[in-house]
Amino acid sequence: MSLDEIKIGGMGASRRRVEDNRFIRGKGNYVDDIVLPGMLHMEILRSPLAHARIKSIDTSKAWAIPGVRLVMTGEMMASRNLAWMPTLSYDTQAVLATDKVRFQGQEVACVIADDAYIAKDACEAIVVDYEPLPVVVNPIQAMAPGAPLIRDDKENQHDNVVFDWEVGDKDGTEKAFAQADVVSKLELHYPRSHPSPLETCGSIADFDRATSKLTVYMTTQAPHIIRAAVAMVAELPEHMIRIVSPDLGGGFGNKVPVYPGYVASILASILLERPVKWIEDKTGNLISTGFGRDVYLRGEMALRKDGKILGVRMHTDSDHGAFFSDAQPSKFKIGLMHSAFACYDIPAAHLTARGLYTNKAPGGVAYRCSFRVTEAMFFQERMVQAAADDLGMDQAEFRRLNFVRDEDFPHRTAFGFLTDSGQYAKCLDVGLEAIGYKDFLKQKEEAKKRGRLLGIGISTMTEPLGAGNSREYDILGIKMFDSAELRVHMSGKAILRTGAKSQGQGHETTWAQIVAHELGIPADDITVEEGDTDTAPFGMGTYASRSTPVAGAAVAMVSRKIRAKARKLAAHLLEVSEEDVEWELGRFYVRSSPDRGVTIQDCANAAYSNMPDGLEPGLENTAYYDPPNLTWPFACYIATVEVDPETGVWDVLNVVAVDDCGVRINPMIVEGQIMGGLTEAYAMASMQFITFDAEGNCVGSNYMDYLLPTAWETPGFELHEVVTPCPHHPIGAKGIGECATVGGPAAFVNAVMDALKGTGVRNIDMPLLPDRVYEAFTTRRDISGMPPVKTED
């Protein structure tokens, strides 16, 4: 008889996490926990100014401090051709500044010393003479005539434009607008936000002169991409580079790019022939590493009186900081921004996008999102609500009317994506039912009579998760596939390695569940390893919710390869031909006599001890998976709020999330991802705020100024599910990690805007701090976050 899949920890089991066994004992192995013999410590001196020419750097006092081993400056890097490095989007970034500094917090010098305290002292002893230059802190200033040229290091760069790009059907969209009964408009700013994993970035570079091998332990979500980048920058051959990503204390996109600190620690180790550890402090992390968002969006929607959307026009100006360093795998300069409106049936759409350099840290990383999808979906859902309001239609009904219907899949979106599955209206219904939509609307009316402001916000969206396919997506020319390698030992226990890299997603638990599902080997019998480029198969890493869609698919496919070989072994053991062998979970049996069978463990044993003539020994294999399409999960998030008109404070009353991410491997972990994502959504809507003053000083450079929600502020969440399996994924799964962060913010903002409906306020930019809400309510006008700070003169 077949095994009970849940009992062996297969698909659908809320299996408790394997990795927790070390984390709850304090035995995780994060990069700062690693100590190598003779290890030195590196600290970085950062620029206090946002834009300035470097006139001179005097390091003599730093060298004089006992315990200092090396002081590195841009000049020294330049002598080794290492002052600049390529970014993941074909731009360049300064490792240590040579000519000028271009953002506050930019890396200027490094000290390597016997311990981190000494290195910090020595950084303070370095004297840099700066000549301040005029500063550009937002795209509006960047585009202004006569704006200071930030990237004067680049030949042929005569302005601050990174790219100018368009997609969609311009003429068709114009026609749609010509036929519109109503045109709805919206303009907003999605503010800069920092992913801020609790653990900062860091590395330990260990160059061994005797073997010429470089080992780097580092906080990276994509070890193999880093290996390729290090090979390029350090001009070392790939087989002499080993990148190890140990346990990561969160990532959220912040640990995808290549940072100067990594490169500097590598050079220092090569020069000193000792291991060099660099652990970034929190301020360094917040002011210099990958930001997300910072996009100015405006657009309009052509509408028919009955509520049908005829067309959409969008324009974005995105602030990329001083170096364009997003991981930018799509052919499109603004990532997947044009996935906007994918869940709606819209005949025509057109998008123009401009990217700009400013004197801010390199921005635009996909913070818990797929390459600008968050901004796209936020604009979409804010626009949809504004349009419903303009038409005087119920916001739920307006969505339902315009959704792509279940029977219309596969569906080509107005921007050209192919969505393949979903039950959008059903998800919305589940959400409305759960929140008690009709009752709430009545309550809201009642409350209004007594001067209380209640609001309800809906956000529904489908988003593209799981890049590639290889035809359209690559990073530095490397196609976006992923991989898994499975070795089944003689006892039937196994080790699985993948090219992904968990940062808290629980791969050690879930990957084993996929193998259990495919082979019937109990999940507890399978070890999962990731993050070491010397042992893991080549993969593109974990970000953009791509692990389950791509690496997870590879795990299923490699298991199937193993099963195919095990079938031959089973036939041999059962002394029948392969065609006469049937499979049920964990066991092959003879079709004509089902009680004659052998287990997968018997087959594993035979692979090493009793193989038929002509069959290669062993039971291991590797699969590389190139997905045919992205996966398209759908989500409906609904929030209810009460706004206090006296103070502008708003409280969340209820949050309902309905996610359709296809088949769930481990429901407990999926729900954990959704709650984490909703919390970041709430954070962005309510408090997370990094801005810059007119001089380019980062306001929000530590946790006293950059507010993250605690257990006290964070609302409770009610989760529901709908399951529409992904038609092309081997186990029917879709991505989920980022959905709530992507779709969530609009639910909260829409709820507050709904509470203010009738006051004439159309938009308040995030975060909806109480003073902004209060000002909007009392002045009856929009509160704009752009430009963040006006130059005072």
Partner 1 sequence: MTSLNEEVFPDQASNVPVRKVTIRINGENRSANVEPRLLLAHLIRQGFNLTGTHTGCDTSNCGACTVLFDGQPIKSCAMLAVQADGHDVMTVEGLATASELHPIQEGFKDEHGLQCGFCTPGMMLTAKALLDENPDPTEDEIRWALSGNLCRCTGYQNIVKSVMWAARKINNQAAN
The alpha carbon dihedral of 600, 605, 610, 611 has a sign of: positive
User: Which 47-106 positions form the footprint of partner 1 (CB under 8 A)?
Assistant: 66-67
Q: What is the DSSP letter of 179?
A: T
* DSSP states along 485-538: EEEE-TTS-EEEEES---SSS-HHHHHHHHHHHHH---GGGEEEEESBTTTSPP
- Give CA 637 to chain center in angstroms: 19
Locate tokens 């993050």: which residue? 531
Among positions 1, 38, 450, 609, the unique one binding partner 1 when judged by CB under 8 A = 38
> Which residues, at least 6 apart from 393, have a Cβ–Cβ distance to it below 8 Å?
307
Among 593, 610, 702, 779, binds partner 1 (CB under 8 A): 702
Q: Which of 48, 86, 250, 347 binds partner 1 (CB under 8 A)?
A: 250
Nearer to ligand FES, 436 or 672 (CB): 672
The nearer residue to partner 1, 260 or 676, going by C-beta atoms, is: 676
Nearer to ligand FES, 401 or 675 (CB): 675
Should residue 21 be labelled a site residue for partner 1 when binding is judged by CB under 8 A? yes
Residue 504 binds ligand FES, judged by CB under 6 A: yes
* Active site annotation includes 636: no
Instruction: Determine if 680 is a binding residue for partner 1 (CB under 8 A).
Output: yes
Please give the single-letter amino acid code of residue 554: A
> Closer to partner 1 at the Cβ: 259 or 332?
259
Q: Which of 93, 104, 141, 221 is catalytic?
A: 221
Taking the complex as a whole, how short is the minimal distance between the CB of residue 198 and ligand FES, in angstroms?
Answer: 4
* CA distance linking residue 709 with residue 8, whole number of Å: 38
397 is catalytic: no
Q: Which C-beta is closer to ligand FES: that of 502 or that of 513?
A: 502
Nearer to ligand FES, 255 or 729 (CB): 255
Helix orientation angle between 260-272 and 223-234, rounded to the nearest 10 degrees: 60
Name the catalytic one among 368, 372, 563, 587: 368
Handedness of CA 791, 354, 470, 669 (dihedral sign): positive
Decide: is 198 part of the binding site for ligand FES (CB under 6 A): yes
In DSSP terms, 599 is beta-bridged to: 587
CB burial of 634-663 (b: ≥16 within 10 Å; e: otherwise) equals: bbbbbbbbbbbbeebebebbbbbbbbbbbb
Kindly tell me which of 26 and 451 has the beta carbon lying closer to ligand FES: 26
| Of residues 452-511, those binding partner 1 (CB under 8 A) | 503-506
- Kindly provide the residue ranges of all beta strands, DSSP E only, lying in 375-513, ordered along the sequence: 411-412, 418-419, 453-462, 474-475, 478-479, 482-488, 494-498
Q: Taking CB under 8 A as the rule, which mask of x and - marks residues 705-744 in contact with partner 1?
A: ---x-xxx-x-xx---------------------------
CB count within 10 Å of CB 578 equals 14
- Closest approach of Cβ 682 to partner 1, in Å? 9
Position among 48, 86, 249, 436 found at the interface with partner 1 (CB under 8 A): 249
Give the per-residue contact string, 117-136, with ligand FES (x = CB under 6 A; - = no).
Answer: --------------------
- Residue (182 or 675) nearer to partner 1, CB: 675
Among 1, 3, 5, 32, binds partner 1 (CB under 8 A): 32
Q: Where are the beta strands (DSSP E) in 197-324?
A: 202-208, 213-218, 241-244, 276-279, 295-303, 309-319
Answer yes or no: are the C-beta atoms of 651 and 492 closer than 8 Å: no
Measured N-to-C along each axis, helices 553-574 and 600-609 cross at an angle, to the nearest 10 degrees, of 70
Closest CA relative to residue 566, chosen from 582, 547, 549, 543: 582
**Residue 456 token pair:** 């309800």
**At which residue do the structure tokens 């990690």 appear?**
737
Determine which residue in the list 7, 27, 158, 790 makes contact with partner 1, applying CB under 8 A.
27
Q: Identify what 199 binds: ligand FES, partner 1, none; CB under 5 to 8 Å per kind.
A: partner 1
Residues 249-278 that bind ligand FES (CB under 6 A): 250
3-state helix, strand, coil in the chain (%, to 5): 30, 25, 45
- From 123, 369, 427, 636, the catalytic residue: 369
Is 738 considered catalytic here? yes
Which residues of the shown chain bind partner 1 in the complex (CB under 8 A)?
Answer: 16-17, 19-28, 30, 32-33, 35, 38, 66-67, 114-115, 117-118, 196-200, 247-252, 281-283, 503-506, 668-669, 671-672, 675-680, 702-704, 708, 710-712, 714, 716-717
Catalytic residues: 221, 368-369, 738
Which residues of the shown chain bind ligand FES in the complex (CB under 6 A)?
Answer: 198, 250, 504
